[in-house]
């Protein structure tokens, strides 16, 4: 009986998550943020665990009850960060915040491993980056919008074990996402569009996964890997209208070594809009490598994303419950 109750509880949770996603689709921003629920705030500066308490954020800072920095609207002066957190050991979540005109929209540095989540925020017109994260291990960055920032949408520096998923980077002046001096980064299911330079830049980045992303309309490369980056895996990305400055070259560049441009399990690579349909797809760069298994058509990023599978799982789960009740 206890086992049945546990199963039903899990199924109920999945159902609520699916319903929440459907409700959020009617909100004021494309990532589900309801602007009517926001509270105007000054810039947030947290330089110690005590600052979470002094500033009155809910939660206790434990893993099960993290501090919540949420539902804030902060318009800065392009000199100070909208939200800056450093030198802390407590768990926290930054979510549902509208951050405009900061130096960095969000700046997170030198925190304890596994304590940070950045979810469902909109960072716009920051002087520097939408999100700057430095010296951080094990963080979760999901469903954020990084729009028209001065340099990059997201930049990681000296980080590891970071999951970046289902974010949108659009119309940033530099590179959409920069992964620098970092390792074990997972960058999946993101949309990266209309950057002035490249979509995704790897600079001394190792052992990372770049997969299931839609990368479109960049003046330089869709993905640019420098000479110090190695052992990265890149597959199932849509590369469309990239490298507009040099259309005779490939859409991506690899100057690193031992980077794999396909998924070994499926022998499937990436979609390249300019692939001629025969053989491999050669890449610009000192690595002299290629995508040996280019995809014939764009990978359906939206259809295959997590919410889609979650809805299916919920439907199956509810059907299972009804069938069990009928048998009883």
For 60-67, what is the mean pLDDT? 98
Tell me: pLDDT of 43 over 80. Answer: yes
Single pTM value for the model: 0.84
11 vs 122, residue with greater confidence: 122
Q: Helices 306-327 and 2-24, interaxial angle, to 10°? A: 140
Q: Residue range 179-183: average pLDDT? A: 98
pLDDT digits (tens, 9 = 90+) for 3-42: 444 444 444 444 444 444 444 444 567 677 888 889 999 9
pLDDT value for 239: 97
The span from the CA of 20 to the CA of 24, in Å, is: 6
Higher pLDDT, 84 or 313: 84
Mean pLDDT of 141-168: 98
Rounded Cα distance, 151 and 280, in Å: 33
Question: The dihedral of CA 92, 162, 227, 223: what is its sign?
Answer: negative
- Strand 233-235: give its sheet, edge to edge: 67-70, 92-95, 116-119, 137-142, 160-165, 183-188, 209-211, 233-235
- Alpha-carbon gap, residue 163 to 148, rounded angstroms: 22
pLDDT for 28 equals: 66
């Amino acid at each position: 009986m206890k086992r049945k109750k546990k199963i039903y509880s899990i199924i109920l949770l999945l159902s609520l998550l699916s319903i929440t996603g459907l409700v959020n689709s009617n909100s004021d921003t494309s990532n589900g943020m309801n602007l009517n629920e926001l509270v105007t705030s000054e810039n947030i500066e947290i330089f110690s665990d005590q600052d979470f308490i002094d500033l009155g954020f809910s939660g206790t800072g434990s893993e099960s009850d993290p501090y919540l920095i949420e539902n804030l609207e902060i318009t800065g002066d392009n000199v100070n960060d909208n939200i800056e957190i450093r030198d802390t050991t407590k768990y926290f979540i930054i979510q549902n915040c509208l951050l405009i005109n900061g130096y960095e929209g969000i700046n997170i540095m030198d925190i304890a491993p596994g304590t940070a989540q950045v979810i469902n925020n909109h960072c716009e017109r920051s002087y520097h980056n939408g999100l700057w994260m430095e010296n951080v291990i094990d963080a979760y960055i999901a469903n954020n919008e990084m729009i028209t920032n001065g340099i990059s949408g997201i930049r990681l520096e000296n980080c590891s074990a970071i999951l970046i998923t289902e974010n949108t980077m659009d119309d940033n002046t530099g590179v959409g996402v920069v992964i620098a001096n970092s390792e074990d980064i997972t960058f999946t299911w993101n949309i990266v569009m209309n950057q002035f330079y490249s979509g995704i830049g790897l600079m001394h980045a190792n052992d990372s996964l770049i997969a299931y992303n839609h990368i479109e309309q960049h003046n330089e490369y869709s993905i640019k890997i420098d000479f110090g980056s190695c052992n990265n895996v890149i597959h199932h990305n849509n590369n469309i209208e990239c490298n507009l400055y040099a259309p005779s070259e490939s859409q991506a560049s690899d100057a690193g070594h031992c980077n794999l441009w396909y998924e070994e399990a499926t022998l499937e690579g990436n979609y390249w809009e300019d692939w001629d349909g025969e053989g491999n797809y050669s890449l610009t760069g000192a690595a002299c490598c290629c995508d040996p298994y280019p995809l014939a058509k764009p990978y359906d990023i939206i259809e295959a994303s997590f919410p889609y599978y979650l809805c299916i799982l919920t439907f199956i789960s509810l059907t299972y419950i009804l069938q069990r009740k009928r048998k009883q």
